[in-house]
């Protein structure tokens, strides 16, 4: 069996090491991964084990004080790995019951009643974005569609101007790009980015405290835990969580799916001929792309995962990108099949921490590809895209493609 360090961000620069993950699933599904700068961690690579761990949030903690939700210990190096001390604790790095309370604060902003006709507004944005994209000429799909679409939606949900998406794009890349020199050019540059984001957050926090509007920013700014108002530093942390979660999943699922359709034109033809396939196509896009590659937990007691003994205090890393290609769960798991029905993928996580915006993400994918299907007969990718240097986000920095007119 090939032994590699799954923590090494350079491992993913040329592409996901699918062969390595398959080897682990087959031969060492709960694999001990040493760390050069830490105690090491358990890599969980099978779908069933990932779901099992995810459904036991008290046994497998995401709490900040236990290290948080990333491979690095956020209680030592900060939420973004930049050593920042002014950012508080996001609710993804909380265990029940506090995590559950935060979810209850956020969910009303994503309810069908609150969202109302958001699908119509998303459709209008997509129509505008795609109308501005020239057909039969090479374009970069990331800044023209994949990035602005989810960030414009987030701007609406936060109640800020739509053109704020450009700043949100810069900030979210910096937050998740701790291992990419293009996103983290220097500590000084990261400090300037954080200062800019703090100023934006302070204005938003003050405005929503003074006059709540019912948007996500208002709900986060006015949340109370046991009668105590959430402090500004936790508002900042939760705002980062909303921005990263709401952007990276949709953005990279869309980009990777354009590549998948270019490599599988029969799937694109099928979708163009039968739009009812969008219902199963959207979750398949997320499964196949797996835009968030891992989440981390910490064992709070001695336990067992997949037959492997796990000690109290051990880090346990759930490789979603591996679970979503598990042949024990999916027939021909590497195949992009827009008619695939279940089982539920783990692209949005599972259990207590499943993504609260998953339905909105899939809605945006359905709308985008529905409109593209009216305009585009083929996607022709012109060159391999530049990838994030990251063990966390399966991200594309660009995607040069020709959209052939229908």
Residue with tokens 């405005």: 207
For 28-37, write each residue's pLDDT tens digit: 999 999 998 8
Residue 400, domain member (yes or no): yes
Q: How confident is the model at residue 111 (pLDDT cuts 50, 70, 90)?
A: confident
Residue 277 — very low, low, confident or very high, per pLDDT cuts 50/70/90?
Answer: very high
- In this predicted structure, what is the pLDDT of residue 14? 94
pTM, whole model, 2 decimals?
0.95
pLDDT tier at 2 (50, 70, 90 boundaries)? low
Mind listing the pLDDT tens digit for each residue in 313-354?
999 999 999 999 999 999 999 999 999 998 999 999 999 889
Cβ pair 24, 317 in contact under 8 A: no
Please report where in the chains the tokens 């949030």 appear, as a residue: 57
| Mean of pLDDT values over 105-128 | 85
Is 111 domain-assigned? yes
pLDDT at 333: 98
Q: What is the pLDDT of residue 1?
A: 61
The enclosing domain of 255 has a CATH number of 1.10.630.10
Identify the H or E element spanning 41.
Answer: strand 41-44
Structure confidence by residue, pLDDT tens digits, 219-276:
999 998 888 899 999 999 999 999 999 899 999 999 999 999 999 999 999 999 999 9
| Domain total in the chain | 1
pLDDT of the residue at 226: 85
Query: Quick check: is 60 in a domain?
Result: yes
The answer on pLDDT for 3 being more than 90 is no
Phi/psi-derived region of residue 227, left when phi > 0, alpha when psi is between -120 and 50, beta in every other case:
left
Phi, psi of 215 (to 5 degrees): -80, 175
Q: Please check whether residue 1 lies inside any domain of the structure.
A: no
Range of the domain at 138: 9-405
Give which of 52, 51, 53 is closest to 41, Cα–Cα.
53
pLDDT above 90 for 38:
no
Measured distance CA(292)–CA(313) in Å, rounded:
24
Quote the percentage of the chain above a pLDDT of 90: 80
Q: How far apart are the first and last CA of the chain?
A: 47
Token pair listed for 64: 């900040």
- Domain membership of residue 215 (yes or no) is yes
Is 27 inside a domain boundary? yes
Q: Is residue 4, in this structure, part of any structural domain at all? A: no
pLDDT averaged over the chain?
94
d(CA 310, CA 331): 30
**Per-residue tokens: 321:** 């990108």
Tell me whether residue 301 is in a domain. yes
């Amino acid at each position: 069996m090939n032994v590699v360090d799954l923590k090494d961000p350079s491992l993913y620069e040329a592409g996901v090491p699918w062969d390595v993950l398959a080897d682990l699933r087959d031969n060492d599904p709960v694999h001990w991964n040493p760390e050069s700068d830490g105690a090491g961690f358990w890599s969980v690579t099978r779908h069933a084990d990932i779901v099992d761990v995810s459904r036991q949030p008290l046994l497998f903690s995401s709490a900040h004080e236990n290290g948080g939700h990333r491979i690095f210990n956020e209680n030592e190096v900060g939420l973004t790995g930049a050593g920042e001390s002014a950012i508080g604790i996001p609710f993804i790095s909380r265990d029940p019951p506090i995590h559950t309370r935060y979810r209850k604060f956020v969910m009303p902003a994503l309810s069908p009643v609150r969202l109302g006709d958001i699908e119509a507004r998303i459709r209008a944005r997509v129509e505008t974005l795609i109308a501005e994209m020239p057909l039969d000429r090479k374009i970069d799909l990331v800044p023209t569609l994949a990035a602005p679409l989810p960030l414009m939606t987030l701007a609406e949900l936060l109640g800020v101007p739509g053109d704020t998406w450009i700043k949100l794009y810069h900030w979210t890349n910096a937050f998740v790009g701790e291992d990419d020199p293009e996103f983290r050019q220097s500590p000084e540059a990261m400090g300037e980015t954080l200062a800019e984001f703090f100023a934006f957050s302070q204005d938003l926090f003050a405005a929503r405290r003074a006059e709540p509007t019912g948007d996500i920013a208002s709900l986060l700014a006015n949340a109370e835990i046991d009668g105590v108002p959430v402090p500004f530093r936790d508002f900042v942390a939760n705002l980062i969580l909303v921005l990263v979660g709401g952007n990276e999943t949709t953005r990279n699922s869309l980009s990777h799916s354009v590549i998948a359709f270019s490599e599988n034109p029969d799937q694109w033809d099928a979708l163009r001929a039968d739009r009812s396939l969008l219902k199963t196509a959207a979750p398949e896009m997320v499964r196949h792309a797996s835009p968030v590659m891992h989440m981390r937990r910490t064992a709070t007691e001695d336990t067992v995962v997949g037959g492997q003994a796990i000690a109290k205090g051990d880090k346990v890393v759930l490789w979603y990108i591996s679970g979503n290609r598990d042949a024990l769960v999916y027939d021909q798991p590497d195949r992009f099949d827009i008619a695939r029905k279940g089982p539920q993928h783990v692209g949005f996580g599972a259990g207590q921490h499943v993504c609260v915006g998953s339905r909105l993400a899939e809605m945006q994918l359905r709308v985008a590809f529905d409109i593209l299907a009216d305009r585009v007969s083929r996607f022709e990718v012109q060159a391999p895209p530049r990838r994030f240097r990251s063990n966390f986000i399966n991200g594309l920095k660009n995607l040069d493609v020709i959209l052939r007119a229908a």
